[in-house]
Amino acid sequence: MTGPLSISDLDYVCDTLAELGDEDIDRITASLRNIVNRARTGQLDTDRTQVLIAALAGSPDSTDVIAACAHTIAEITDHNTALNHLTNDHRKEVTQAGQEAAYDLTRPDLRHSASEVCAVLGAHGGQCSQCGGWFDNWPGGICDACKNR
């Protein structure tokens, strides 16, 4: 990495993807922008932040958005009637390339950095999901004061 990423980097990527004109990709990019907006406007607590990071790219068993993208690539390079006009050899090459891409995107080492963020978030305490209070050495959730209201 050459330096820290910024919201303008996300905007650039999402704007570039918008040029594709695909409504499904537009929904994905809108969701990513929404997550960032929720974080910037105080709508996420540390527990939800940790869950979102794991869901996006930090699941140790590859049950995250990156893995969903990987499996989507595998499916659309194998079970796709738009590929029916290809010769058998060409279609096999496309399918194999899709399988290799999916394999690369589901490797556990790809998730190490995002998993590390989750671990760091949870290592020092937790935030109450109702009052927003931070408590050292607490896993998070709803604090006793809020439970007893």
Q: Print the SS3 string covering the chain.
A: CCCCCCHHHHHHHHHHHHCCCCHHHHHHHHHHHHHHHHHHCCCCCHHHHHHHHHHHHHCCCCCCHHHHHHHHHHHHCCCCHHHCCCCHHHHHHHHHHHHHHHHHHCCHHHHHHHHHHHHHHHHCEEEECCCCCEEECCCCECCHHHHCC
Look up the pTM and report it: 0.75
In a domain, 128, yes or no: no
How much is the pLDDT for 62?
83
Provide the number of structural domains found in the chain.
1
In a domain, 88, yes or no: yes
In a domain, 89, yes or no: yes
In a domain, 136, yes or no: no
How much is the pLDDT for 1?
47
How much is the pLDDT for 60?
79
In a domain, 19, yes or no: no
In a domain, 133, yes or no: no
How much is the pLDDT for 139?
67
In a domain, 142, yes or no: no
How much is the pLDDT for 136?
74
Q: What stretches in the chain show pLDDT beneath 50?
A: 1
How much is the pLDDT for 123?
67
Domain containing 68 equals: 63-106
In a domain, 95, yes or no: yes
How much is the pLDDT for 99?
96
